[in-house]
Structure 1
Amino acid sequence: MSALKIKKGDRVVILSGKDKGKHGEVTKSMPKEGKVIVSGVNVATRHRKPSQANPQGGLERVEAPMHVSKVAIEDPKTGKATRVRFEVRDGKKVRVAAKSGELING
């Protein structure tokens, strides 16, 4: 898998699946697997047996990883999905929103 254009801390829009249209922040990026974890999105429920660490047991909600092709960077200007382009500005390589030309922080 090549380097991802989406990094930890980026605001993203979900493009497909049960959470389509939702917005969230990337909490973890896994470039080797080509996956990201987005806060509040793709929440899976795990049934946990009681243990010493968790004597109550019960249901545990976990944010599952999703493929990077299902998310797109949120345009800082419009709040909609956009592609990412790289440019050299002031001698530094920076990420730029393709739709608005706005600089993506990070």
Structure 2
Amino acid sequence: MSKIEIAFQAGFENDEVVVEMNNSRKIYSGLTTDYSIGLAERVVLESQSDSATLDIELPKRNQDIHLDVDLSKDVYVKVNLTPDGKLQVEEGDAEAAYF
């Protein structure tokens, strides 16, 4: 079983985020970045599949992103909001550290 870890990092202020993976949908409310550690929320999703479709939406900001993810190994996704409110996503294979 592989996992996708999504780290919602900078720029979030009482945001609602909708995460959908392979037709399973979860809503996270009140996401606010704690700038002392650079993190608003960390979400871990698991899948038995070798691939997944991942959608991340911020409905109140009218922003969304779609990723096709290779789950042959664990995947780590960092999500930030730029100062002008645009979603910025980085996919990698290393877990982010927060102190």
Bigger Cα Rg: 1
Give the structure with the larger strand fraction.
2
User: Which category of TM-score, normalised to the shorter sequence, fits these structures?
Assistant: under 0.3
- Normalization by structure 2: what TM-score? 0.26
The structure whose RCO (Cα within 8 Å, separation 6+) is larger is 2
- Normalization by structure 1: what TM-score? 0.25
